[in-house]
Amino acid sequence: MASINILKFGVSSPSDTSPLNQLKAAGFSPHDILAVIGKSEGNGCVNDFSRTLSSRVWEPQIPRSAVTVFSGGTEGVLSPHVTFVVSDRSTTGLRAAVGRTRIIEPHEIGTSVQAFEVASSIQSILKESGVAIDQVRLILIKCPLLTSEKVEIIKSSGMPPVTTDTYESMAKSRYSSALGIAIALGELEEDGLHEAMWSQPCWSTKASCSSGAELEDCHILIIASDSSPGGLRAISGYMSDAIDARAITRLLEQVDRESGHVLQVFAKAEADPTGKIRGNRHTMNTDSDIHSTRHARAAVGGLLAGLVGETRLYVSGGAEDQGPPGGGPLCVVYRVAP
Amino acid sequence: MASINILKFGVSSPSDTSPLNQLKAAGFSPHDILAVIGKSEGNGCVNDFSRTLSSRVWEPQIPRSAVTVFSGGTEGVLSPHVTFVVSDRSTTGLRAAVGRTRIIEPHEIGTSVQAFEVASSIQSILKESGVAIDQVRLILIKCPLLTSEKVEIIKSSGMPPVTTDTYESMAKSRYSSALGIAIALGELEEDGLHEAMWSQPCWSTKASCSSGAELEDCHILIIASDSSPGGLRAISGYMSDAIDARAITRLLEQVDRESGHVLQVFAKAEADPTGKIRGNRHTMNTDSDIHSTRHARAAVGGLLAGLVGETRLYVSGGAEDQGPPGGGPLCVVYRVAP
Amino acid sequence: MASINILKFGVSSPSDTSPLNQLKAAGFSPHDILAVIGKSEGNGCVNDFSRTLSSRVWEPQIPRSAVTVFSGGTEGVLSPHVTFVVSDRSTTGLRAAVGRTRIIEPHEIGTSVQAFEVASSIQSILKESGVAIDQVRLILIKCPLLTSEKVEIIKSSGMPPVTTDTYESMAKSRYSSALGIAIALGELEEDGLHEAMWSQPCWSTKASCSSGAELEDCHILIIASDSSPGGLRAISGYMSDAIDARAITRLLEQVDRESGHVLQVFAKAEADPTGKIRGNRHTMNTDSDIHSTRHARAAVGGLLAGLVGETRLYVSGGAEDQGPPGGGPLCVVYRVAP
Amino acid sequence: MASINILKFGVSSPSDTSPLNQLKAAGFSPHDILAVIGKSEGNGCVNDFSRTLSSRVWEPQIPRSAVTVFSGGTEGVLSPHVTFVVSDRSTTGLRAAVGRTRIIEPHEIGTSVQAFEVASSIQSILKESGVAIDQVRLILIKCPLLTSEKVEIIKSSGMPPVTTDTYESMAKSRYSSALGIAIALGELEEDGLHEAMWSQPCWSTKASCSSGAELEDCHILIIASDSSPGGLRAISGYMSDAIDARAITRLLEQVDRESGHVLQVFAKAEADPTGKIRGNRHTMNTDSDIHSTRHARAAVGGLLAGLVGETRLYVSGGAEDQGPPGGGPLCVVYRVAP
């Protein structure tokens, strides 16, 4: 598992790969890229072609072993950008490892099969790279969804799809991936999976899962801290609800105490499924014009951008099993003076 | 001008008038109502019938002289609610006065005629109520917009409409109202109006204007502080941009210093017209699925709700001439211990 | 069961009740109204407050025994309007009867309980009014949906909601109502209901069901033809898919053969659940910006309006169990020369 | 100017280039391609990345001299597909020629400069290819729009943009292109351009213009009929309003009279700017959730698909100066038995 650095740059459109020049100017080569994590400016839902476009233009530019994770939706103040995770020859204090599951068949999407594939892929990656579970700060996953065509493929094979609603399949897929992370990190027992899927939700604060039509397998990125010296740090936490400013300031205060500088924040956001936040009604789940994931990104993005003072943040929508219901995981990567 | 109190309550739908019961339980009568200010859960744009529905159900319940200001759009975490401004027999430290302009004819909407009507109505209200300009903390205005039918009425009379785009007419109307406020408050000279309309934008931080299809005149509410003792205070400020958390915390710190308790925050929000926030691109002005006012309310609402710790806040979209471009005015009303 | 007449008038907004004046000018009294059927201009989905607004303004104007059926969504060329079903002292050839179910409890919405309540209410209405099943041309139903609050009520009582997705609850409610119609019309056996709900879809071409947040019970309107002489006729048919122009022209040709004049067309439309129309892909089920019911109304409304030559048509979205999958029922009411 | 053939194929996504295989199976080579005209499944508005994605994947596959015209928006029943215009060695009865203008600078977009550039490019293409004006059946143009960044570029150079509303810039650009076509076809005098732009709208029924963020110049495709024998024909007409079924059936009847088979229909659609269709109100211009071009495509697409019996049709939104206001141009390409 390589020592890594993290750099982020704005993009002028989903097809803009000019950040490669900025990466080179910063002394890195495209060969160093382990992952490109992007916020692209589509709707972040089923028909978000900004994600597909970004994957298409970026994948020929990066090593075959590298992964892309494009999360759609830059609602509100959020700014489209890419974050590079690159190998660094020097010891930085942070490490990363990437991998992929096998292709998830249409009828497996959003099921325990996907959860197990994710879990076992993460376990392999961790083993190969020699990272201990307690060093893991964040596991980012990009996973497939059900299109109308995939629903028909499932039906024509006589199986019941987990859902026929393509938007809802995004949530099912995120949830399966997150359970896979929970199993891999020992937060959930394998034989508790069935219950977790149906009746006893559990959650992980290291999981950040995003689904899309642009891929068939799951892309996995693990960011871990290293006991070795170096200027990079990552700390994790979670928002208890979508207005939990305290969860954010607590992490930012730790960065301040170490005189650090925030490089990136990774957050997930969702509309509270109860329809209320601290006792007051929200309307994200009854708005038939804008899906709740778009609302949630806009609101949590506004809060995070205000507190961090910058809008190129990774805020992704739909936090099923990723942090407590209505809340979501947070991971702050920062640099301290050497 | 009466001493006033401010109370707010959640609503279960745009037609919910049950907060009247809570008002009575708090010792007030519907006759005491000067204004009902609501956030209703429509799109906040041209075809927002939640505003019309709320106006319809509330207006028969309140005195004829009272005004309603319903602002649509509870994107993200914002919670639908109503804020009552009620006369209070005791001295509270805050005063309010309300009024209406004459009907604004279709061809006058969004023009200097509307600005002058607003200005002269405010001047009359201030004079009658004996409030000095420097006591004014906030002027809330609800003003009309252009529907397809009004555009046709204008055209058929041979006049050019200020715009044929009904959504854009909302901005023009807000802008005219805000200039009217600026004139009334002495922030803009009357003969500077023409320039302000066309080339030299000016702005007021006391102005909060919202447009809608549910009315033909402009509803005006003025909140002012009083030199007399009492437990209520109002302080004004403005956000320099949509992520200006500092502007909010500065006001909240003052509330804290006085051991106060926030009753309500009134804010306006908009997408920066340059397409950038602190140098980074936002996509609110190029999103053809969601209008920029919806994005802006969601993001600023998320930030404010996080910092205040509550989601029943008045955050309205479209801040033309209300605070600096890309930012918007803030007014915090709070109660201190007696 | 009264002999009836049918009149329709455009509205200038969801709160426009001026068609009452036109009704009076045509020689009818508001007391004659059996039903007000409207197309209002909201999104036709969960948060369509144009329907609530219309119900609110119309219900005080009509007899207590009369029902309202407001269907939201005038996408594309469709024109907002109301259709009055009024008692006519003379024999017209058409009859109608109206009624309501009891309140459908949150946990009953979208279940077989709703289907049975609808079925038994229709059976009572038919019995009382002496209408035979084979005279029925159309049964219009307006039925409730699940809001976030209703979902929470169900959950807090320990029951599983049929869905937690408020938009999907509209489809479940329409489907239950349509099955109730099928039972009442003898198209489905009562003990086939469970299978129909879960595995063996059946459909009725007389059913037209629309759901909304503006009511708690189901409103029922039955239109039937009469063997007595008179100038009004109603004929039913169904579109096999959303581009089945032939189904429409066949009915219009019959009107032509009788030298008739179309008074109103009642249609339901839906996105083909297979994602294809005549072998070619459509994108209504993967568009996360616009719900499929909106797409379907716009497309079928465009086709019908073109063929009928008029845009004030009742085209409602979501045709579960109402006509074949991807298609929907049609009912043409017309007048022939005496 | 080559004799051409026209073939169309469905696509499974905006990045699907598999129709190339079908083209080859039909006996053509990618080298034969003059133009790829597509309907892609984005919103057809400013942030439609499905168009950009399609351009990106198709342009490397076709000759440098060929052009792409991707029109976004497959609302309602419309099916995503591509239409190939290919050179045919045999005489077919139809000819085509393609070309490009120079890059249109941001401050030129939507102005008379763009109109003149389009006009002179068309004139050159016609001259080179030896096509007479009266042989032209359709001129398809894809032209640029204003993004937030382009608006800022214009402003920073001290010029006033034609609009600061990015969605509105699409209409301005279409209008300029259509005027350019009108000049080139002798329907508008060059010195009447200024008046046409500001006060005296004129229109062409051969013009079909679509704007997008995916290009900087204008792509031009001219389809003309040939006096030579061959099985392909093209006939033009126009819809007087959005429900003008008669205009369509008139063309289809001519195809029938010649025992022809429709290959493709090219249509433009728009919301009537008066807010009415045949005297009845429509709501396309006051719907702040769905832009009017989306509504218009869905409705006219529904009508055309019903009448033609097929959903892979080219229906594009925004018909400024392309057919009469509220209507739009039609061009039917068909094959007759040899």
pLDDT along chain D (338 residues), means of 10: 91 97 98 98 96 96 97 98 96 96 97 96 96 95 95 91 93 95 93 77 87 96 88 96 98 97 97 96 97 98 98 95 93 92
CA–CA separation, A52 vs A213, rounded Å?
8
For chain D, what are the domain ranges?
231-335
pLDDT score at B1 = 59
Q: CA-CA distances (angstroms) from residue C157 to B101, C160, C161?
A: 51, 9, 10
Q: CB neighbours (10 Å) of residue D164?
A: 18
Token pair for residue A312? 């190129």
A261-287: per-residue pLDDT in tens? 999 999 999 999 999 999 999 999 999
Question: A230-335 — its CATH code?
Answer: 3.30.1330.160
Q: Which of D55, D121, D208, D210 is catalytic?
A: D210
Strands (E), B41-179: 67-72, 81-87, 94-100, 136-144
| Residue with token string 């759609």 | A72
Does residue A202 register a pLDDT over 90? no
SS3 of C122-173: HHHHHHHHCCCHHHEEEEEEEEECCCHHHHHHHHHCCCCCCCCCHHHHHHHH
Q: Are B323 and B239 in contact (CB under 8 A)?
A: yes
Q: In the CATH scheme, what architecture does the domain C231-335 have?
A: 2-Layer Sandwich (3.30)
Q: Are D82 and A82 in contact (CB under 8 A)?
A: no
Cβ pairs A/D, distance under 8 A: 38
CA–CA separation, B262 vs B106, rounded Å?
39
Annotated binding residue C40? no
| Residue with token string 């509220």 | D326
pLDDT score at B226 = 83
Q: Do C42 and B47 touch (CB under 8 A)?
A: yes
CB-count exposure of residue D320 (10 Å: 0-12, 13-18, 19+): buried
pLDDT score at C2 = 76
Does residue C306 register a pLDDT over 80? yes
Q: Which of D8, D39, D142, D150 is catalytic?
A: D142
| Residue with token string 């075809």 | B47
- C interface with B, Cβ–Cβ < 8 A, is 12-15, 41-42, 47, 49-50, 52-53, 56-57, 149, 213, 289
Q: Which residues of C are catalytic?
A: 142, 210
Q: Is the dihedral of CA C94, C100, C106, C111 positive or negative?
A: negative
Token pair for residue C13? 């907004």
A127 Cβ contact list (under 8 Å, min separation 6): none
Q: What's the start-to-end Cα distance of chain C, in Å? A: 22
Strands of A314-317's sheet, edge to edge?
A232-239, A328-335, A261-269, A314-317
SS3 of C244-289: CHHHHHHHHHHHHHCCCEEEEEEEEECCCCCCEECCEECCCCCCCC
pLDDT score at B199 = 67
Q: Choose among A43, A294, A311: nearest Cβ to B280.
A: A311
Q: CB neighbours (10 Å) of residue B314?
A: 26
CA–CA separation, D9 vs D81, rounded Å?
6
Report, in angstroms and rounded to the nearest whole number, the Rg of chain B calculated over CA atoms.
Answer: 19
B47 Cβ contact list (under 8 Å, min separation 6): B213, C41, C42, C50, D283, D286, D287, D288, D289
CA–CA separation, B325 vs B275, rounded Å?
11
Q: Choose among C80, C280, C303: nearest Cβ to D302.
A: C303
Q: Choose among C47, C152, C281: nearest Cβ to A288.
A: C47
A43-67: per-residue pLDDT in tens? 999 999 999 999 999 999 999 999 9
Q: Which residues of B are catalytic?
A: 142, 210
List beta partners, residue C288: none
Q: Chains with ≥3 Cβ pairs under 8 A against B?
A: A, C, D
CA D314 remoteness from chain centre? 8
Please give the average per-residue pLDDT across A276-302, as a whole number.
97
CA–CA separation, B211 vs B215, rounded Å?
9
Strands C207-212 and C136-144: parallel
- What b/e sequence results for A2-26 when a residue is b if at least 16 CB atoms lie within 10 Å of its CB, and e otherwise? bbbbbbbbbbebbbbbebbeebeee
pLDDT score at D1 = 59
Does residue A29 register a pLDDT over 80? yes
The DSSP annotation for D202-213 comes to --BSSEEEEEET
Please give the average per-residue pLDDT across A66-80, as a whole number.
98
CA–CA separation, D234 vs D267, rounded Å?
13
Q: Do B49 and C47 touch (CB under 8 A)?
A: no
Mean pLDDT (chain A, rounded):
95
Q: Which of A3, A50, A55, A142 is catalytic?
A: A142
Q: Choose among D45, D275, D287: nearest Cβ to B152.
A: D275
Q: Which of A40, A176, A210, A292 is catalytic?
A: A210
Token pair for residue C304? 């019908």
CA distance B300 to chain C (A): 22
Report, in angstroms and rounded to the nearest whole number, the Rg of chain A calculated over CA atoms.
Answer: 19
Q: CB neighbours (10 Å) of residue A160?
A: 10
Q: What are the pLDDT tens digits along chain B (338 aa)? A: 579 999 999 999 999 999 999 999 999 999 999 999 999 999 999 999 999 999 999 999 999 999 999 999 999 999 999 999 999 999 999 999 999 999 999 999 999 999 999 999 999 999 999 999 999 999 999 999 999 999 999 999 988 889 999 999 999 999 999 999 999 999 998 888 888 776 666 788 899 999 999 999 999 999 999 877 789 999 999 999 999 999 999 999 999 999 999 999 999 999 999 999 999 999 999 999 999 999 999 999 999 999 999 999 999 999 988 999 999 999 999 999 87
pLDDT score at B200 = 62
Does residue A217 register a pLDDT over 90? yes
CA–CA separation, C268 vs A151, rounded Å?
24
Strands D314-317 and D261-269: parallel
Q: CA-CA distances (angstroms) from residue D47 to C95, C118, D42, D212?
A: 52, 45, 8, 9
